[in-house]
């Protein structure tokens, strides 16, 4: 449940617009392709998870590459991926709330309020976050059903036609965006490989999370395109938020954009908590600290100070977004491939030595 809300996170608001800009009315097909590819990538991640043998990823990296090289690679990974995403998500949170919900609220106040809650729950531990996820997960599903299924009366399936109007190329290009954000980020879940008593449970958890979040993305994208058409949503920054504003039944059943904002806020909370937990525990292990608690506030303050510096305006985000997919694949595909190959090479070398 925690993994599902992590994957929904930032992508929930911007995904339909991002995909429709490239794949037009066939954007939903990109999601189907990505779900299939994600199942294949989970196999690679699970192959690494089975090698952990109830030890943390940090300890496994040290045993595989040596203490110094393993710690250097791990620190580079944490700084350039989970912690970098942590700062990006904070800025994304501020952009949405200060433009669509609280236009007169300074971004610093948004950062501070969210970071206080995130630092507190991460300090409480993984089991506490897991129990909180159990409580909020069904609340998120209820809000999702209430908000988007209320759009069905105004949906027009003709907006989804013609299928394959521009061929496979734009569909595949759009799928690359979705792979990079958020699905290859599943490599970060390897930091929880030792939290479960069996590696198979980790694989099942990640697979189910991907199927649930992918199904929600698919339903949302189909409904949003059917209601507004691809031409409209490709020009909206937050189409999934804007679409529910059109719900108006008898001038009474309306104002559902608040539901979407609340749903997104909850998922962002769990997304930030996972990123901060991974960053703090990873760095604490590298520098041999007794626990990661002493790093929570410093890391949160770095995120607070860097939030407004991540990008000057939304135009920069739109232009840089296609590049992010390839950047993310470096850590989500090449990094686990490197670990897997290093383990194979070390295993082969050890077997020859024993002979």
Percent of the chain scoring above 90 in pLDDT = 55
Residue 177 lies in a domain: yes
User: Cβ(235)–Cβ(21) under 8 Å?
Assistant: no
Look up the domain containing 326 and give its range: 7-135+162-212+271-343
Residues 278-305 pLDDT 10s: 999 999 999 999 899 999 999 999 999 9
Q: What's the CA gap between 347 and 340, in Å, rounded? A: 11
User: Cβ(214)–Cβ(35) under 8 Å?
Assistant: yes
Count how many domains the chain has: 1
Residues 89-137 pLDDT 10s: 999 999 888 888 888 889 899 999 999 999 999 999 999 999 999 999 9
Residue 259 lies in a domain: no
pLDDT at position 120 is 97
Mean pLDDT on 293-321: 86
Residue 182 lies in a domain: yes
Residues 251-277 pLDDT 10s: 666 777 888 888 899 999 999 999 999
* Residue 44 φ/ψ, nearest 5 degrees: -65, -45
Is the whole-model pTM more than 0.85? yes
Q: What's the CA gap between 11 and 14, in Å, rounded? A: 5
Residue 254 lies in a domain: no
Residue 16 lies in a domain: yes
Residue 239 lies in a domain: no
Judged against a pLDDT cut of 60, whether residue 350 lies above it is answered with no
Residue 235 lies in a domain: no
Residue 228 lies in a domain: no
């Amino acid at each position: 449940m925690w993994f599902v809300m992590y994957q929904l996170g930032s992508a929930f608001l911007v995904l339909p617009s991002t995909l429709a800009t490239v794949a037009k009315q066939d954007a939903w097909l990109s999601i189907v392709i990505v779900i299939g590819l994600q199942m294949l990538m989970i196999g690679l991640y699970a192959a690494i998870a089975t090698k952990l043998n109830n030890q943390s990823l940090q300890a496994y990296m040290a045993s595989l590459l040596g203490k110094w090289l393993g710690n250097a690679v791990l620190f580079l990974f944490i700084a350039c991926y989970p912690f970098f995403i942590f700062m990006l998500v904070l800025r994304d949170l501020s952009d949405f709330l200060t433009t669509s919900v609280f236009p007169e609220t300074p971004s610093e106040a948004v950062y501070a309020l969210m970071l206080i809650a995130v630092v507190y729950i991460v300090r409480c531990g993984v089991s506490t976050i897991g129990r909180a996820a159990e409580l909020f997960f069904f609340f998120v599903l209820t809000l999702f059903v209430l908000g988007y299924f209320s759009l069905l009366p105004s949906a027009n399936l003709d907006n989804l036609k013609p299928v394959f109007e521009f061929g496979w190329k734009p569909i595949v290009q759009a799928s690359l965006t979705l792979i990079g954000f958020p699905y290859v980020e599943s490599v970060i879940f390897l930091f929880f490989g030792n939290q479960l008593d069996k590696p198979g449970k980790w694989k099942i958890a990640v697979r189910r999370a991907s199927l649930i979040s992918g199904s929600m993305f698919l339903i949302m994208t189909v409904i949003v395109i059917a209601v507004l058409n691809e031409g409209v949503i490709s020009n909206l920054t937050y189409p999934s938020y804007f679409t529910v504003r059109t719900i108006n039944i008898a001038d009474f059943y309306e104002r559902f954009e608040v539901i979407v904002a609340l749903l997104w806020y909850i998922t962002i909370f769990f997304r930030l908590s996972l990123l901060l937990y991974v960053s703090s525990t990873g760095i604490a292990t590298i520098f041999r600290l007794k626990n990661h608690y002493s790093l929570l506030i410093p890391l949160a303050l770095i995120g607070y100070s860097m939030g407004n510096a991540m990008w000057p305006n939304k135009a920069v985000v739109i232009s840089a977004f296609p590049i992010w997919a390839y950047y993310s694949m470096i850590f989500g595909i090449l990094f686990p491939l490197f670990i897997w190959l290093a383990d194979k090479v070390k295993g082969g070398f050890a077997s020859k030595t024993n002979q």
